């Protein structure tokens, strides 16, 4: 990994640690859906929950390619299912101090 990539990864990780929400775009090979979700990040891996009967969940079953946007950072990757309890616990610990002001 070159120095420029390392600096970029550090900036991305810092942004991921500071934010709680992202926009997730999924594609079912016909239509694109975009939804805002809370996420948990660990290194450069992102975790978010969804139910299998939501449009987002159904789309990921059809096509696991996703695009995620956080601030001005856009990430393309593959969605994978994981044990919901593991993700929920990590997400809860990460967002325990989240305060929303209106």
Sign of CA dihedral 45, 21, 66, 12: negative
C-alpha 18, offset from chain centre: 13
Assigned domain for 100 exists = no
Look up the pTM and report it: 0.71
Mean pLDDT, the chain, whole residue set: 81
Which residues make beta-bridge pairs with 77?
66
Average of pLDDT values for 55-82?
90
User: How many structural domains does the chain have?
Assistant: 1
Half-sphere exposure of 8 (CA within 13 A, CB side): 8
Assigned domain for 26 exists = yes
Domain that holds residue 17: 3-94
Assigned domain for 62 exists = yes
Cα(18)–Cα(4) distance, rounded to whole angstroms? 21
| CATH code, domain carrying 11 | 2.30.110.10
pLDDT digits over 12-65, tens only? Answer: 888 888 999 999 999 999 999 999 999 888 878 888 888 888 899 899 999 999
Q: Which helix (H) or strand (E) holds 70?
A: strand 65-70
State residue 88's pLDDT score.
Answer: 59
Given a cut of 60, whether residue 92 has pLDDT beyond it is no
Assigned domain for 102 exists = no
State residue 99's pLDDT score.
Answer: 42
Assigned domain for 101 exists = no
Assigned domain for 99 exists = no
């Amino acid at each position: 990994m070159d120095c420029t990539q390392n600096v970029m990864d550090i900036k991305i990780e810092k942004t991921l640690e500071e934010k709680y929400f992202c926009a997730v775009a999924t594609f079912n090979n016909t239509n694109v859906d975009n939804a805002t979700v809370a996420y948990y990040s660990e290194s450069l891996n992102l975790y978010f929950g969804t139910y299998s009967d939501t449009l987002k969940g159904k789309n990921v079953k059809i096509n696991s390619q996703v695009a995620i946007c956080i601030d001005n950072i856009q990430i393309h990757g593959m969605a994978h299912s994981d044990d919901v309890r593991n993700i929920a616990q990590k997400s809860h610990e990460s967002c325990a101090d989240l305060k929303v002001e209106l």
